């Protein structure tokens, strides 16, 4: 895998979520800053998105937010980022995020996070990009999704996803290890879907 210098992170914008998800977003931001990896994200100041961006900025890292005009105008844009790109639509937002990133990490989130993940996963399946995608399974959050993906493959609606499309990692340490930013001597479980 080529080195990752810009990681696109998809995650939730909800604020009242399990503290473990909030802590993971903070840990990721801190780790990205320490590793010199630029955060590319949805540009929001709320929820896990805001927590991750704030942690990168606090650690001296670079943050690029990509936000549709409609959401910026609803006062959801994070004004402290290094670069805030305003797009005309959600579709443009996803395209620009994909273009600006070397890889993707999916933290816990809702329907919007799933939309972003499935689109970038589909683009990889279709050969539109070959950038790594990591599903970060904080506290087992993505286990129901993993079961659904296994079911889709078992029912022959998709070819085997092993290991070409998606890598499932249990936590931020395993993600950073997979990105090649921490020594591999640490024992972590990483599972390819």
pLDDT 10s digits, 4-18: 999 999 999 988 899
Q: Is pLDDT of 51 > 80?
A: yes
How high is the pLDDT of residue 130?
93
Confidence of residue 72 (pLDDT cuts 50, 70, 90): confident
| Full domain range(s) for residue 18 | 6-179
Convert the pLDDT of each residue in 88-134 to its tens digit: 999 999 999 999 999 999 999 999 999 999 999 999 999 999 999 99
Residue pair 138/21 in contact (Cβ under 8 Å)? The answer is yes
How high is the pLDDT of residue 1?
66
What CATH number is given to the structural domain containing 16? 3.40.50.450
Convert the pLDDT of each residue in 165-190 to its tens digit: 899 999 999 999 999 865 333 333 33
- Considering the domain boundaries, does residue 150 fall inside one? yes
- Considering the domain boundaries, does residue 102 fall inside one? yes
- Considering the domain boundaries, does residue 186 fall inside one? no
């Amino acid at each position: 895998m080529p080195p990752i210098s810009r990681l696109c992170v998809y995650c939730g914008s909800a604020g009242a979520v399990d503290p473990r998800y909030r802590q993971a977003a903070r840990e990721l931001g801190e780790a990205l800053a320490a590793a010199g990896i630029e955060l590319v994200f949805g540009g929001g100041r709320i929820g896990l998105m805001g927590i991750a961006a704030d942690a990168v900025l606090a650690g001296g890292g670079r943050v690029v937010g990509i936000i549709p005009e409609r959401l910026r105008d609803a006062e959801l844009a994070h004004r402290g980022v290094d670069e805030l790109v305003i797009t005309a639509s959600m579709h443009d937002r996803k395209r620009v995020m994909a273009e600006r990133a070397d890889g993707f990490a999916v933290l816990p989130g809702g329907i919007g996070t799933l939309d972003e993940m499935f689109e970038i996963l589909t683009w990889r399946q279709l050969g539109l990009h070959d950038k790594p995608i990591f599903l970060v399974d904080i506290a087992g959050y993505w286990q129901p999704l993993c079961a659904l993906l296994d079911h889709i493959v078992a029912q022959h609606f998709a070819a085997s996803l092993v290991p070409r499309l998606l890598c499932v990692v249990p936590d931020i340490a395993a993600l950073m290890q997979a990105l090649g930013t921490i020594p591999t001597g640490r024992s972590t479980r990483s599972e390819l879907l």
